[in-house]
């Protein structure tokens, strides 16, 4: 019995220590401006021809491409040369947020090279999110929003286990932190040469007759957590 009590005490003090270690981390919700060289892409990508094999050769064979959207995804990956050696998959789901960057939590315990990230793409039918799901976006907007999601991956990849814990806690617990992180992640495509594409996404979501359907009822939420087309335009213009 005594041994059991000791074991419980040891485990709970270990957990308290871990929780404290997470709490004392200082994790800025803002994205960093990349210091490495980035590409510049054309303002409109939709009408060009792309050779998927050449794109895959650029991004590495550790990247998953969602069926039917291979080219848009591969272009978004090429914008992040710093993720060339990182394992990232893009998979369809039948629920959840329209898109979400996640990681295999267990891979956080191993070396950074072994981390596995996944971008979840809601592809369910008859959902409230229908107007803004990947399948309904114009090509350039697809590239733009996938580049936003890869911006999350670039951010996660810089965090260690404790920092990731603090980030997750802050993101869920504070609206301001959540908004600062998402709005800053909207700038990642801009930093990586795909400013026109994230602008086209933001414009589509707000002003397209079909895409804007959801926005009508969710304007306050969307404009709080994501940059508007006008805000993005001002940033792109001042670059
Ligand atoms: Zn996001």
The whole-number pLDDT of residue 195 equals: 97
How high is the pLDDT of residue 13?
87
Which residue pairs from 180-185 have beta carbons closer than 8 angstroms and sit at least 24 positions apart in sequence?
Answer: 180/29, 180/30, 181/29, 181/30, 181/31, 181/155, 182/225, 182/226, 183/225, 183/226, 183/227, 184/29, 184/30, 184/31, 185/31, 185/148, 185/151, 185/152, 185/155
In the chain, where the domains are located: 39-238
Calculate how far, in angstroms, residue 152's C-alpha sits from the geometric centre of ligand 1: 7
Which segments in the chain show pLDDT lower than 70? 1
Question: According to the model, what pLDDT value does residue 7 have?
Answer: 85
Distance 149 CA to ligand 1 centre (A): 6
Predicted local distance difference test score (pLDDT) of residue 140: 98
The Å distance, Cα 117 to ligand 1 centre, comes to 14
pTM for the structure as a whole: 0.93
Q: What is the pLDDT of residue 19?
A: 86
pLDDT for 15 equals 85
Q: Where are the beta strands (DSSP E) in the chain?
A: 87-93, 99-103, 116-122
Report phi then psi at 222, rounded to 5. -65, -45
- Please give the pLDDT value at position 9: 86
User: How many residues are recorded in the chain?
Assistant: 239
Q: 177: helix, coil or strand?
A: helix
Ligand 1 (ion): residues with CB under 5 Å are 182, 185
């Amino acid at each position: 019995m005594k041994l059991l009590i000791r074991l419980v005490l040891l485990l709970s003090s270990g957990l308290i220590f871990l929780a404290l270690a997470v709490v004392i981390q200082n994790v800025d919700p803002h994205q960093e401006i990349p210091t490495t060289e980035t590409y510049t892409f054309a303002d409109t990508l939709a009408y060009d021809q792309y050779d998927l094999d050449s794109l895959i050769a650029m991004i590495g064979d550790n990247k998953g491409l969602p069926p039917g959207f291979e080219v848009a995804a591969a272009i978004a990956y090429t914008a992040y040369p710093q993720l060339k050696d990182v394992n990232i998959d893009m998979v369809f789901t039948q629920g959840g947020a329209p898109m979400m960057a996640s990681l295999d939590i267990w891979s956080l315990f191993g070396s950074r090279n072994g981390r596995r990230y996944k971008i979840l793409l809601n592809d369910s039918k008859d959902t409230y999110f229908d107007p803004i799901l990947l399948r309904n976006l114009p090509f350039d907007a697809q590239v733009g929003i996938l580049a936003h999601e890869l911006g999350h991956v670039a951010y996660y990849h810089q965090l260690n286990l404790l920092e990731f814990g603090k980030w997750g806690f802050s993101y869920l617990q504070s609206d301001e932190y959540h908004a600062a992180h998402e709005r800053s992640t909207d700038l990642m495509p801009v930093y990586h040469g795909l400013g026109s594409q994230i602008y086209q996404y933001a414009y589509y979501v707000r002003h397209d007759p079909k895409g804007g359907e959801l926005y009508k009822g969710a304007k306050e939420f969307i404009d709080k957590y994501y940059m508007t087309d006008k805000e993005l335009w001002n940033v792109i213009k001042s670059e």
